Amino acid sequence: MSAHATPPVHHEEQRFRAPVRWSKPSSGTLVALGVWVVGLVLAGLVPLLLLGADPYESAAGGLIVTGLCFTLAGSLVMVLSAYLLYRKSGSIGAAILAFVPSFVFAVLGILMATMKVLYGQ
């Protein structure tokens, strides 16, 4: 190597990047998300307050049926709002993110009712 070796030259392209613009949700999307949160409260919080968190704790039969009805009604509200969200936004990802918790709550509500009936003392 010679004493006058030049350092390697890095050719970098200077590209202009546009500023990131966050999409602003429409009022219909916000309404659909609000309805989804109402369904979440109906499906999760109301049965929790009625029946308690312990599946082995006994509850009256009427309370079990009422808790299950609230869970299924809240899940239905969540599914309908997820469909509305899909129709408003056109994003299948948003719809999937809204559908999955509704089915999870429905299954967990059925399991909780079964546990309360079978194992409650």
pLDDT (tens digit, 9 = 90+) per residue, 11-39? 666 677 778 888 787 888 888 889 989 99
pLDDT of residue 20: 80
Do 33 and 81 touch, CB atoms closer than 8 A? Answer: yes
Question: Which segments in the chain show pLDDT lower than 70?
Answer: 1-14, 121
Q: How far apart are CA 3 and CA 94, in angstroms?
A: 62
Within 8 A by CB and 6+ apart from 120, the residues are: 56, 57, 58, 59
Residue 111 CA, chain-centre distance (Å), reads 20
